[in-house]
């Protein structure tokens, strides 16, 4: 399942160890990491991008869920971007780009308090145990959200809102006449076209997502040995 992952650490050292652990889990075949970043919030509340990685050829940080979430976590104080990060603030402030709900952003923002450091990553994981075990061992607080569910919900809500507007316009046109009726008809046609386009995009995205997930599941199946090692490691850990 595709998820947004935020892991909060007390120090930069631990955060970098956490980022390295994610890369190691990917090499083992336990997860897939699409993009990641390490961000720190100083005592004044300024969020700084310490590290921005393209951990997979699928895409770059700008325009990914990670990029969107980095901008949202910066809040009103803003975000300080390192010259080497290759990021621009304009690409990092859209909830839709982040593909997460505002409740998730609020939870992550509350956890990223001054002098804390976060590892943010867009990942695919078949189970949560491998990541949880590694991050717990480093003292990290794990916050995650399934991206597919959020994205689908947001799209449905947008379409539902447009359909409600469409119903209102149709109710108004029944009582209108002349020029007013022609204007309403034009608005109805434009809105219906937008709804049709959004629904088509939703169907295309879902088909692509399903195909992508199926392909990745095949990769995970081929890494059964890695799965076994992860579960064995978890079994050796003390009960929570």
Q: Is residue 204 included in any domain, yes or no? A: no
pLDDT > 60? residue 223:
no
Tokens of residue 120, six digits: 């943010």
Structure confidence by residue, pLDDT tens digits, 107-132: 988 999 999 999 999 888 888 999 99
Enclosing H/E stretch for 100? none
> Mean pLDDT over residues 1-28, rounded?
93
Q: Is residue 20 included in any domain, yes or no? A: yes
Q: Is residue 29 included in any domain, yes or no? A: yes
Q: What is the DSSP string of 114-153?
A: TT-EEEEEEEEES-SHHHHHHHHHTTPEEEEEEHHHHHHH
pLDDT > 90? residue 6:
yes
Q: Is residue 226 included in any domain, yes or no? A: no
Structure confidence by residue, pLDDT tens digits, 37-90: 899 999 988 888 888 764 333 334 544 667 777 777 765 444 444 433 444 433
Instruction: Report the percentage of the chain scoring pLDDT > 70.
Output: 66
Q: Is residue 217 included in any domain, yes or no? A: no
Tokens of residue 190, six digits: 């434009």
CA 6 from centre of chain: 10
Angle at the Cα of 218 from the Cα atoms of 199 and 205, rounded to 5 degrees: 10
Tokens of residue 173, six digits: 């046109």
> Mean pLDDT over residues 10-27, rounded?
94
Structure confidence by residue, pLDDT tens digits, 148-191: 655 667 778 888 999 999 999 999 998 888 889 999 999 999 99
Other CB atoms within 10 A of residue 126 CB: 16
> Mean pLDDT over residues 217-236, rounded?
52
Tokens of residue 82, six digits: 């390192």
pLDDT at 222: 58
pLDDT at 21: 96
pTM exceeds 0.85 for this model? no
Mean pLDDT estimate for the chain: 76
Q: Is residue 178 included in any domain, yes or no? A: no
pLDDT at 192: 93
CB 71, CB 89: distance < 8 Å:
yes
Q: How far apart are CA 211 and CA 217, in angstroms?
A: 10
CA count, 13 A, side-chain hemisphere, 37: 27
Handedness of CA 15, 17, 21, 23 (dihedral sign): positive
pLDDT > 90? residue 8:
yes
pLDDT at 16: 95
Q: N- to C-terminal Cα distance for the chain?
A: 24
Q: Which residue has the tokens 């304009």?
A: 90
Q: Is residue 130 included in any domain, yes or no? A: yes
Counted domains in the chain: 1
pLDDT at 34: 79
| Of residues 72 and 33, more confidently modeled | 33
Q: What is the DSSP string of 152-195?
A: HHHHHHHHHHHHHHHHHHHHHHHH--HHHHHHHHHHHHHHHHHH
Q: Is residue 236 included in any domain, yes or no? A: no
With bands split at pLDDT 50, 70 and 90, how would you rate the model's confidence at 91?
very low
Q: What is the DSSP string of 6-74?
A: EEEESSHHHHHHHHHHHHHHHHHTSEEEEEEEEEEE-TT--EEEEEEE--STT--STTSHHHHHHHHHH
Alpha helical stretches, state H, 48-88: 65-74
Instruction: Report the percentage of the chain scoring pLDDT > 90.
Output: 32
CA count, 13 A, side-chain hemisphere, 128: 10
124: containing domain: 2-147
List Cα–Cα distances, 20 to 15, 55, 62, in angstroms.
9, 11, 21
């Amino acid at each position: 399942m595709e998820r947004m992952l935020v892991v909060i650490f007390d120090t930069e050292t631990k955060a970098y160890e956490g980022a390295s652990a994610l890369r190691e889990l990917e090499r083992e075949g336990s997860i897939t990491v699409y993009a990641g970043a390490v961000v720190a919030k100083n005592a004044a509340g300024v969020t700084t991008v310490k590290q921005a990685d393209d951990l997979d050829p699928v895409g770059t940080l700008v325009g990914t869920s990670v990029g969107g979430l980095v901008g949202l976590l910066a809040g009103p104080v803003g975000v300080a971007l390192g010259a080497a990060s290759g990021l621009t603030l304009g690409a990092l402030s859209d909830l839709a780009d982040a593909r997460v709900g505002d409740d998730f952003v609020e939870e992550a923002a509350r956890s990223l308090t001054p002098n804390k450091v976060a590892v943010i990553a867009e990942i695919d994981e078949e189970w949560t145990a491998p990541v949880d075990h590694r991050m717990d061992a480093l003292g990290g607080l794990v916050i995650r959200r399934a991206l597919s569910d959020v994205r689908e919900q947001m799209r449905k809500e947008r379409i539902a809102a447009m359909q409600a507007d469409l119903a209102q316009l149709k109710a108004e046109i029944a009582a209108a006449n002349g020029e007013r009726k022609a204007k309403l008809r034009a608005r109805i046609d434009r809105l219906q076209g937008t709804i049709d386009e959004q629904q088509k995009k939703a169907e295309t995205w879902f088909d692509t997502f399903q195909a992508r997930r199926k392909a990745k599941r095949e990769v995970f199946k081929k890494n059964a040995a890695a799965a076994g090692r992860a579960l064995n490691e978890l079994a050796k850990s003390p009960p929570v």
